[in-house]
Amino acid sequence: MCGFAGFSDYQEGLSGPPQHWLDLARRMARRIAHRGPDDQGARVSQNCALAHARLAVIDPDHGRQPMVLPFEGQETAIAYNGEIYNAPELRSDLESRGFRFQTSCDTEVVLASYLCYGPDCAEKLNGIFAFAVDDPVHQRTFLCRDRFGVKPLFYTLREGKLVFASEIKALFEFPGVQPVVGREGLCEIFGLGPARTAGCGVFEGIRELKPGHVAIFDRLGFRELPYFDLEAQPHEETYQQTVEHLRELLLDTVERQLISDVPLCTFLSGGLDSSVVTAIAAQRLKEQGRKLSTYSFEFEGNEEFFTPSSFQPDRDQAWAQRVSQTLGTDHTTLLCGNAALADSLGDAVIAKDLPGMADVDGSLLYFCKQVKQNHTVALCGECADEIFGGYPWFHRKEMFDGSHFPWSNNLDQRGGLLKPELREALAMEEYVGQRLEESLAAVPVLPGESPQEIRMRQIGYLNIHWFMSTLLDRKDRCSMWSGLEVRVPYADHRIAQYVFNTPWEMKCHNGEPKALLRDAAEGLLPSEILHRRKSPYPKTHNPGYEAILKERLTGVLRDSSQPIHKLLSEETVKGLLNQSFDYGKPWFGQLMAGPQLLAYLLQINFWLLRYNIHLSI
């Protein structure tokens, strides 16, 4: 995995001394050097500058970027971030067409695919990726992002130039790109956050290439085009055939994602999703005479203060140890304390350039730093709940009636945090309602499907396009902050497309949530692991953490120079500070309740201050 940045101009070109543009591209790349600590490179052509920071995972001794290949008398260049899991098949296909490879890097495979197939190359790639191609033959810059947006790619248009980068912070190095936030951005932060509308970069004029899209920039301007979305298709297999089909997909997907020339591990909570990935990975490595390393995460004091709930029925550690012992992995439990967790909130904002999932982000960032000390690649169980229907709102009708996003049905509480005059000016309820309406209108359905079937398609589609995107963004940014590559097997588009069209009665066979996945994994794990109740990503239950947050937020409220005073109703926030642990409905999903709301407000204040944001409303 890596990071890249660049800019292009097809009206005036990059006129003037090339060194000026080269230095600018390098400054942009230095802002995201954490994504690629192993090597840096930059290149300038007549119309396009590319800079790259590399994390070497495959063929570490080769594959420097930007990579250049000759084509029709010109030099075509690429800056690429990602991993292509069907690279061997693509390599064979391209070799049969006469291409001769010089490296074993998938970067060369991607660039060769572009030279062979043009923009249609996106449809041939199976993996997680974002890349930019400087194409002098067609006088254009080509951008591409993977189907579910695992890898980020932001851009802005400035005075005839396209400016792009893996992270927003790099864009601010380009002259004229300023951190301005208006109505749209504030509605995203307070109305939808930490989720984001696809394509929205929150800052004015900054966009993110949508998942499953490519973009072309040339003399005619900028055009963003889709190449993938979920499609509604009839499902004609029996339940047993579906189980067998899914098992084949799971085995193939995990095996493909084990390719690495550097140390590899898995995140293991002891829950169904991560345990299935770990079981397949451990078996494959065992066949190679290797032992899999696994990691689980815990918080200081949870052994004393943990309180079971319907969302989080038990702690992970005993389950993770049981799976590790069964599979014979080398297991490590990482522990995060109160102060470290609170201190990580700011780093998580810098990693994402935006407020995020509060300590859910901060703890992941902290844990990834620890994992990176011994490993460079990790596989995780993210995305299974979105695809197989594991969340409560899939099963409780009252949590999704089509009038709100099921993981964020607290607009009154969200709006109540704002100054009354700001809340009125933002018209946040209208903004969020429009985003929901647009999303529901995009849901593909089959003729003749019942209202119940349509509802389940809607909730599945929303979860993949909104909730899953939020978690994937979190996973990439918090892991790449430490130069750790985290892979997400369940986000393989073949699995997502297949399961999207599997009837709900199969996903929830005999009334058991995620029964399809459990049955597909039969024999890989002990029965008690396969049928363990869902328990989400762990959080701290230590009251000492809440005390730290209350102290810090109280300090912010007492300091009138803090930027968040322009936005918040101090009376409402003071009321929160005086409440007990339960602050009402979760801010987002299942985890962002209690102290996470205070942490989110601290993140917003830190963001406004650190990025010196100008509010234009």
Active site residues: 2
**What is the DSSP annotation of 127-188?**
EEEEEEEEETTTTEEEEEE-TT--S--EEEEETTEEEEESSHHHHTTSTT---EE-HHHHHI
Q: Which DSSP state fits 190?
A: I
Kind and range of the H or E run holding 264: strand 264-267
3-class SS at 253? helix
Task: Give the residue ranges of DSSP H helices in 481-594.
Answer: 493-500, 504-507, 515-520, 527-530, 543-558, 570-577
What gap in Å lies between CA 109 and CA 127, rounded to an integer? 12
The answer to whether 119 and 142 are in contact (CB under 8 A) is: yes
Q: In 10 A of CB 167, how many CB atoms?
A: 26
Buried b (16+ CB within 10 A) or exposed e, 523-535: ebbeeebbebebb
Residue 66 region by backbone torsions, left for phi larger than 0, else alpha for psi between -120 and 50, else beta: beta
What the block records as the tokens of 524 is 């890989």
Q: In 10 A of CB 451, how many CB atoms?
A: 7
What gap in Å lies between CA 66 and CA 51, rounded to an integer? 7
Q: What are phi and psi of 298, to 5 degrees?
A: -145, 165
Residues near 61 by beta carbon (within 8 Å), at least 6 away in sequence = none
What gap in Å lies between CA 204 and CA 580, rounded to an integer? 37
Q: In 10 A of CB 425, how many CB atoms?
A: 13
The answer to whether 498 and 227 are in contact (CB under 8 A) is: no
What gap in Å lies between CA 26 and CA 170, rounded to an integer? 10
What gap in Å lies between CA 141 and CA 69, rounded to an integer? 15
What gap in Å lies between CA 536 and CA 560, rounded to an integer? 38
The answer to whether 242 and 506 are in contact (CB under 8 A) is: yes
Span between the terminal Cα atoms of the chain, in Å: 38
Sequence letter at residue 58: I
What gap in Å lies between CA 343 and CA 187, rounded to an integer? 27
Q: In 10 A of CB 20, how many CB atoms?
A: 13
Tell me, rounded to whole angstroms, the distance of Cα 278 from its chain centroid: 20
Give the count of alpha carbons within 13 A of 441, CB side only: 6
Give helix 493-500 / helix 451-462 axis angle, nearest 10°: 160
* 161 closest CA partner among 28, 345, 250: 28
The answer to whether 175 and 156 are in contact (CB under 8 A) is: no
* 81 closest CA partner among 129, 41, 39: 129
- Provide the β-strand partners of residue 378: 265, 486
Bridging pattern class, strands 377-379 and 485-487: parallel
